Structure 1
Amino acid sequence: MEIKLYNHAQGIYLSLLQLQDADKLLQLRLRNRAHHQPYEPLREADYFTLESQELLLSQRISDAEQDRAYMFGIFLTDGQLIGQVTLSNLVRGVAQYADLGYFIDYAIQSKGHMTAAVRLILEYAFRGLALHRVQASILLHNDASRRVLEKSGFQAEGVARRYLKINGDWQDHRTYAILADDFLTARP
């Protein structure tokens, strides 16, 4: 399955990650390991291996084929992998929603790439997958992530106490969501 989504003005595109992207993903994770640690679960050392990234990508490829999750790489137009954005935990039936997760190379933060990537993934979620809702949960002190969500039209819905175990501790997260109606009426 090949899907590419472009934002030419921002100089990026999203592409479903494939097995051949495993080394690029590993290098991205290694470069960002220390910087992202305060915002992520504790990872075993073997997570940062090519084999582990290949297994992760194999699982996500299978998830996409089964309409359960979609893991996109964020690429500059020259093909450099600079981040990842994922729709996961897709629920169909009467719910029609997914969870959003993302990260970007710390060396190029604050250039608008992540906001552009989130808007592309929302376009795909609402127009391509016909979802009703996309939700995200972020640490209370993650101001950069909060700005990305707010600029993309998400609304804060509340605090989930001790929601996820991040960096070894159960931590509170603020939940955000955007509905298809909100996004599609704001973007013709």
Structure 2
Amino acid sequence: MWPARITDGRLELRPLRRRDAQEWLELRRQNAGWLAPWEATVPASEGTAPMTFGQWVRESNRTARAGQSRPWVVTRDGVMVGQVTVSGITRGSLSSAAIGYWVSRHVAGRGITPRAVALAIDDCFGTLGLHRVEINIRPENAASLRVVAKLGLRDEGVRKAYLHIQGQWADHRTFAITAEELSGTMVQRLEANLARGTQAPSR
């Protein structure tokens, strides 16, 4: 089931490749300040050595082939603009996964992120046959709260000190949806919500 691509008009979710190094690293450099407040970090106590880009791509694709993740780069008109990653894929009685994402500041607010996440959720429920998908967001991240509002995900509350962010353990709000809650596809739900107009959930 990997490598896999999802194409939706001008938008595409595709596997990250080692030859993407220059484009990816430059995009990340341009967005360093934009993304830093929300990005997970590894506590110094773990002493984990950072991976090179090539090592990271190989490891990402290894876990994807093992059915544990779906690490996609997001492109618009063939140009890289961000990432959507399905991680923690668990089968059996849990049958769930989590989704994380980021988008370049220069395309933020154009509807790319909600659409890309909707496509990833549809892949989780359709291709993978999972039961539940969740997204964890820092309460201060207004842009990401707007994404889950447009998707109509259920707010499950706050997880205290859930992820290590920039040197400290940070609270996150969990938003989720199960396959049984979805009538049609997530892309269809997104389009319907946008047609009606949505507001970010209250904090």
Q: TM-score, normalised by structure 2?
A: 0.83
- The number of residue pairs the alignment matches comes to 180
* 1:103 paired residue number: 102
- RMSD after superposition: 1.8
Separation in 2, partners of 1:118, 1:30: 23
Q: Percent identity?
A: 31
The correspondence of residues 43-58 of structure 1 with structure 2, limited to 5 A, is 52-58=52-58
* 1:18 paired residue number: 17
The correspondence of residues 77-96 of structure 1 with structure 2, limited to 5 A, is 77=77, 79-96=78-95
Separation in 2, partners of 1:149, 1:27: 28
Whether contact under 8 Å (2:158, 2:172) holds in the other structure is yes
1:2 aligns with 2:34: no
* 1:164 paired residue number: 163
For 1:104-131, what per-residue CA distance to the aligned partner results, in whole angstroms no more than 9, with x for missing partners? 0011100000011001101111100001
Whether contact under 8 Å (2:95, 2:132) holds in the other structure is yes
1:125 aligns with 2:124: yes
* 2:146 paired residue number: 147
Whether contact under 8 Å (1:131, 1:180) holds in the other structure is yes
Q: State the Cα distance separating 1:25 from its structure 2 match.
A: 1.9
Separation in 1, partners of 2:145, 2:33: 21
Counterpart amino acid of residue 152 in structure 2:
G
Counterpart amino acid of residue 128 in structure 1:
T
Whether contact under 8 Å (1:88, 1:99) holds in the other structure is yes
Separation in 2, partners of 1:125, 1:114: 16
Q: TM-score, normalised by structure 1?
A: 0.89
* 2:194 paired residue number: none
> Aligned with 1:118: secondary structure?
helix
Separation in 1, partners of 2:178, 2:24: 30
Q: State the Cα distance separating 1:42 from its structure 2 match.
A: 4.5
- Unaligned residue ranges in structure 2 (runs of 5+): 189-203
The correspondence of residues 51-70 of structure 1 with structure 2, limited to 5 A, is 52-70=52-70
* 1:113 paired residue number: 112
- Unaligned residue ranges in structure 1 (runs of 5+): none
Whether contact under 8 Å (1:133, 1:180) holds in the other structure is yes
